[in-house]
Amino acid sequence: MKLFCVIVCCIVCVKASKNVFQYEMEKADDSIDIYRHKSSSFPEQQRVPKLTSFVWKDCGGKSALVNIKSLSISPDPLSFPGTLNVAADFLVKKALVKPLKADLTLYRKVLGRYIRLPCIDDFGSCTYDDVCSLLQQVQQCPKPLTDLGLNCQCPIKAKGYSLQKTGFDIGASIIPEGDYRVLANVTLNGAEATCLDLTLSIQ
């Protein structure tokens, strides 16, 4: 099971609802337009986005079916595109079977406040009612995972897993810089399976 260690390639333009954040988003857009106007006479340089900060927390309760004991990524900073090295230790206390439901919430900080990004084309703050069916679409499970007895399919056996530092290629080359938060909640028949809270910065 690939943990939620996905670098966020977030949506830049969000259709804001009619609330207090709409005005703030418009002000931010105005600032960007002014910057573009002032810099239009200079040749545009290709920016290499980098992951400069990464903090995680296991937000699951004591009764959660999965306990994430450790999670680390490297190198620091990570440039995109590039190889993301992931290491993790986690304990699955009860076999994970259908129906596994995942609620993923993405936020981006705008003018000092985290703005929730909507779900667009199954990306963003989305709910996935059947994670096991999504896993069935994985054509080739990475060898480091199969070596652990994880074949990227349900059921996921109850046992402890230790993923040594493993590289995953990240092909995204255009990622908006900023501060992000990712909150992932997975449930099994209404019971909490796992919860992961990530905050990261891209510059």
- Neighbour-count burial for 141-170, b at 16+ CB within 10 Å, e otherwise: eeeebeebebebebebeeeebebeebebeb
Enter the tokens of residue 3: 């943990």
Average pLDDT over every residue of 63-91: 87
**pLDDT for the residue 22:** 38
Which residue range(s) make up the domain with 194?
56-202
Residue 114 in any domain: the answer is yes
Nearest to 58 by CA among 36, 81, 91: 91
Residue 160 has pLDDT above 90, yes or no: yes
Asked if residues 186 and 194 have their Cβ atoms less than 8 Å apart, the reply is: yes
Residue 165 in any domain: the answer is yes
Residue 77 in any domain: the answer is yes
Predicted confidence band at 172 (pLDDT cuts at 50, 70, 90)? low
**pLDDT for the residue 113:** 94
Rounded to whole angstroms, how far apart are CA atoms 119 and 128?
Answer: 11
C-alpha 92: how far from its chain's center? 21
Residue 42 in any domain: the answer is no
For 30, the enclosing helix (H) or strand (E) is helix 20-39
The pTM assigned to this predicted structure is 0.71
Residue 11 in any domain: the answer is no
Nearest to 166 by CA among 138, 144, 185, 192: 144
Residue, of 142 and 17, whose pLDDT is higher: 142
**pLDDT for the residue 175:** 63
For 33, the enclosing helix (H) or strand (E) is helix 20-39
Residue 173 has pLDDT above 80, yes or no: no
Residue 19 in any domain: the answer is no
Domains held by the chain: number: 1
**pLDDT for the residue 83:** 85
The percentage of the chain sitting over the pLDDT mark of 70, rounded to a whole number, equals 73
**pLDDT for the residue 23:** 33
Predicted confidence band at 181 (pLDDT cuts at 50, 70, 90)? very high
CATH classification of the domain holding 129: 2.70.220.10
Residue 188 in any domain: the answer is yes
**pLDDT for the residue 46:** 57
Residue 82 in any domain: the answer is yes
Predicted confidence band at 121 (pLDDT cuts at 50, 70, 90)? confident
Phi–psi pair at 197, nearest 5 degrees: -115, 115
- Neighbour-count burial for 31-58, b at 16+ CB within 10 Å, e otherwise: eeeeeeeeeeeeeeeeeebbbeebebeb
